[in-house]
Amino acid sequence: MRVVILGAGGVGGYLGARLIAGGADVTFLVRERRAGQLTSMGLVLESPLGDFASPVKVMMAGTTPDPYPDAVILACKEPALAAAIEAVAPVLGPSTRLLPVLNGVRHLDVLAARFPATTLLGGIVHGATDLRPDGTVVHLSPFMTVLAGPVIGGSDAVGSEVVARLKAGGVDAHATHEIRQDMWNKFVFLAAFAGITCLMRASIGAIMATEQGRTRILALLEETQSVAEAEGFSPPQDLMGEYRDLLTEQGSPYTASMLRDIEAGRRTEGTHILGDMLARARRHGLETPILEIAAQHVEAYERRLDMSAKAAGSDT
């Protein structure tokens, strides 16, 4: 199986390592700096589920592969989606599947409109990863689960093989026939998780240690759940129970990747996650006061980055 992965950061690097371990022929479509790291040191993964280190194939944007890959995995964050779309356009053959593993849901409509002739799969990654400045991919959570399936239709042979290769590489991977519902389930959790940890600039454990921490966390989770229900994607009650437990665990050190982006001074998925969830809430006339504050908090951070970049440009 031939797979091209756009991005070799935390998620793309992890999936690529496990696909290679599962016997897939993987090429990473990356920018020049990351290509240099991968060429010189190979792909290095540190994970509680098993380390990985190996030379890997790389390609740059604008290259047309021969033959075309069976699947292209988009493993970028939403701020890079527009550039990613243009980069993968020459890589998509007549039978190539496109599998984005971005957070949120609105990118599915963007990709379907841009590539109407391409079979689109949906994907979800449950697990925390990061990319160190030296190029090492670090797996931060004790688990990693991947769900994938066709956006339209009951099954897809290529999508199922991607899942099989991940399983062979040691990933808890599953093919699903309800990927939109699965994506909404994660969307509900992530918007609450990212919203509260970014708003409070703290881990779940630190927030829980405050006087009204538990109340605020659960209120935000109820708000995001209400949006999913209004959209017709109500999460199962047992899953909501798991989300409540995860988001109110005493002493939990976990923070959302969105907060880690803020702390590193990077662009975030704030508009794609919190902004999109808030826009949907407003369309349905829902009251979501904590979500609104959290979304505006991250928006203000993004605007500050814009102002800093503009000021730096005017000084040169």
Catalytically active residues, by annotation: 186
| Tokens matching residue 39 | 């060429």
Burial of 188 (0-12, 13-18, 19+ CB in 10 A): buried
